[in-house]
Amino acid sequence: MLNVSHTTVSRSLNDSPLISKETKDRVKEIAKEHNYHPNVNARSLVLSKSYNIGLFFSTLKTGTTANFFLNSVRGVISVVKGRYTLAVEPIDVLTDFKQISARNFDGIAVMSQSPNDDEFIAHVIREKIPLVVMNREVIGQKVTTVLSDDLAGAYQITKYMIEQGHKDIAIIEGKPEFRTTYKRKQGFINAHIDAGIEFNEGYSFKGKYDLESGYNAMQQILDLKEWPTAVFCSNDEMALGAMKAIKQREISMPDTFSIAGFDDMGFTAYLTPALTTVLRPVEEMSKEGAQILLSKIEGETMENLGIINLDAKLIVRDSVKKIN
């Protein structure tokens, strides 16, 4: 109809920079008028591509909050939409890795939370599937990794609480097998060391990154003979659970207990008191990872870029009180 080649039509519909804007506009206009869509299956056969990208989480059970999941998926989709189909899967339910092949996936992004993912990551590398890992440093493998600097974020918020006069600060930790749990506790402890304050290990309580574990850990804190003046919760969901436990006992916040969280989930600014927390750039992390993955898939770069650290940011609100 336009007296151009099949290649020109294909490149125009894929926004190739090799085709002029005028030609692309003409091709797209005709395609729209005639409700024309490329046959993805045929294109996959010709190009030996699946047009599938996998986004794999360590788990979709306890520890993967709805907000973390949503921001991860939203960040990747914002980059790959219209170009690739996104398949979202948990690693911990896979009985084997037979379906994880270059035939089924053009690229894989792993939102890794646990060292248990290392076997899966090694398999993807052996299969020579373009790969990027987000959220956790992988030991012993050469892979591009995009991280949020959780250690620095936990350090910032603990330093802030200490500057507000708090010397007795409890911590509610996350799941022990998650790397983020270690990083956040280490940042918490480092802030104590730099301030010359000894951390009381009796003020360390286990959590699972969910509401219930935050609530239960706070109940344990409230049963202590000597209370801390502040509590750092390793994520916002546990902070919300902790705040419920405090309110149930009719104890004032932040007058008696100051509370801090981590992640800056959507609801934190609307709590009473509004939660002081750390903004963890999950969506930005997943966008960055997806852009790097596309560059690998499309041959722009195949080299591993090492570790890319994104800054976490302290968000000061009302839940931490200044004391003498």
Structural tokens at position 261 = 């969280």
Tell me if 278 sits within 8 A of 262, measured CB to CB. Answer: yes
Q: Identify the CA nearest to 318 among candidates 245, 239, 250.
A: 239
CATH number listed for the domain at residues 150-280? 3.40.50.2300
List, for residues 138-163, the tens digit of each pLDDT value. Answer: 988 889 999 999 999 999 999 999 99
List, for residues 186-197, the tens digit of each pLDDT value. Answer: 999 999 999 999
Count of H-run helices and E-run strands, the chain: 10, 12
| 292 vs 304 pLDDT, higher one | 292
pLDDT of residue 63: 77
Strand order in 204-205's β-sheet?
Answer: 204-205, 169-172, 230-233, 258-260
List, for residues 90-129, the tens digit of each pLDDT value. Answer: 999 998 999 999 999 999 999 998 899 999 999 999 999 9
List, for residues 221-240, the tens digit of each pLDDT value. Answer: 999 999 999 999 999 999 99
CATH 3.40.50.2300 segments of the chain: 47-148+284-312, 150-280
Structural tokens at position 190 = 């480092």
Does the pLDDT at position 220 exceed 80? yes
- 67-90 burial code (b ≥16 CB/10 A, e <16): bbbebbbebbbebbeeebebebee
Does the pLDDT at position 250 exceed 90? yes
- Region of 290 (left: φ > 0; alpha: ψ -120 to 50; beta: rest) is alpha
What average pLDDT score do residues 279-286 get? 95
Tell me the pTM: 0.77
Mean pLDDT of the chain: 91
Using alpha carbons only, what angle is made at residue 185 by residues 89 and 122, rounded to the nearest 5 degrees?
35
Q: What is the DSSP string of 166-195?
A: ---EEEE---TT-HHHHHHHHHHHHHHHHH
CATH 3.40.50.2300 holds for 47-148+284-312: yes
Burial of 318 (0-12, 13-18, 19+ CB in 10 A): middle
